[in-house]
Amino acid sequence: MRCAIFESIRDMRSGDLTGAIAIVSSDVMIAISPFRAVLLMAIALWFLPPGEALAKDPPEAKGVAMAAQKYPDWKRRVEALRVRWTYSWTADGPEDVPAGVEFVPMIWGDRGNPGATCERLAALQKAGSHKSLLGFNEPDGKDQADMTVETALKMWPLLEKTRLRLGSPATVHADNAWMTEFMKGAEARSLRVDFICVHWYGGPSAPSLVRHLEKVHDLYDRPIWITEFAVADWQAKSREQNRHSPESVEAFLKEALKELKRLKYVERFAWFAADPDSGPLGPSALFDAKGELTAVGELYAKF
């Protein structure tokens, strides 16, 4: 009877809990109601060995920021992390996006032909292929999109024409002068910004992250997508010089994920897939030099 109940538990946890549920024990079949099934499931789970409990589905909010063009085994890595969405700082996604994972396009900056790209994205939106679009990547950074606020505001109507939900430009700091000026300009010109994209690279302090998110939400009164975050030591020239250990990153991640689940205005978040040998970001790496999950990566994958 006990083994039969365990088998039924697995069926119920996979979603098979409609109508009566049959539990079979040798030559005996007992039909029970869903209420009794839940009660039996709770009792039986008490006796299940820890390893037998099935992993829950990953939350819809969990994603990863990882350049597809950088890793030949990109699909395997995305699957290993059990994320529900990803992006690669490009408008066009890879052909092998795993089933159940949403690729979110981005208009990185004003280079190339963003007008033609937005027209193509509008067609994809009409076909139902995409739902959201990320705005310019660190336009306030000299080594990133490097745009003036006025240039960004003039380009924004191109992004609006895609009819996708629009994420704001993701500035180095979401509360800095560039971003506040852009949002004021967008409001003055009646431009649409549906959610705020946030980058966060601080020390291993979850309360610090939460305070920053609260400030950004108070500033702009919009949902938030954390499109890049990780623990960083920007003074470190090498991995050995980094002040933060992988263990401290793990502790931060455990606490931060609980907080992000609690904050209703945080719609999505994506850990940044750093190189394991990076001076500032190495301890936050999701994969080691051989492409296997680090302890931080395993923790993120299990969430």
Domains and CATH numbers, the chain: 2-52 (no CATH), 62-302 (3.20.20.80)
Give the model's pLDDT for residue 218: 98
Question: Are 87 and 294 in contact, with CB atoms under 8 Å apart?
Answer: no
R_g over Cα of the chain: 23
- pLDDT given at position 235: 97
Give residue 121's pLDDT: 97
Position 33 scores a pLDDT of 54
Cα 108 to Cα 44, 45, 281: the distances in Å are 52, 48, 22
Token pair belonging to 142: 């000299």
Q: Which residues contact 130 (CB under 8 A, 6 or more apart)?
A: 103, 104, 105, 121, 124, 164
Q: What is the pLDDT of residue 57?
A: 81
**Residuewise pLDDT in 10s, the chain (303 residues):** 434 433 443 343 334 433 333 333 333 333 445 555 445 444 444 444 443 343 478 899 999 999 999 999 999 999 999 999 999 999 999 989 999 999 999 999 999 999 999 999 999 999 999 999 999 999 999 999 999 999 999 999 999 999 999 999 999 999 999 999 999 999 999 999 999 999 999 999 999 999 999 999 999 999 999 999 999 999 999 999 999 999 999 999 999 999 999 999 999 999 999 999 999 999 999 999 999 999 999 999 999
The answer to whether the beta carbons of residues 287 and 294 sit under 8 Å apart is yes
Q: What's the confidence (pLDDT) of residue 13?
A: 38
- Would you state the pLDDT for residue 58? 84
Phi, psi of 233 (to 5 degrees): -125, 95
Are 66 and 90 a contacting pair, CB within 8 Å? no
Name the 3-class secondary structure at 267.
strand
Name the strand (E) or helix (H) holding 185: helix 177-188
Distance of CA 11 to the CA centre of its chain: 29
Tokens 């996979």 locate to: 14
Q: Amino acid letter at 195?
A: F
Coil, helix or strand for 25?
strand
* Per-residue pLDDT tens over the stretch 80-135: 999 999 999 999 999 899 999 999 999 999 999 999 999 999 999 999 999 999 99
pTM: 0.82
Q: What pLDDT is recorded for position 236?
A: 98
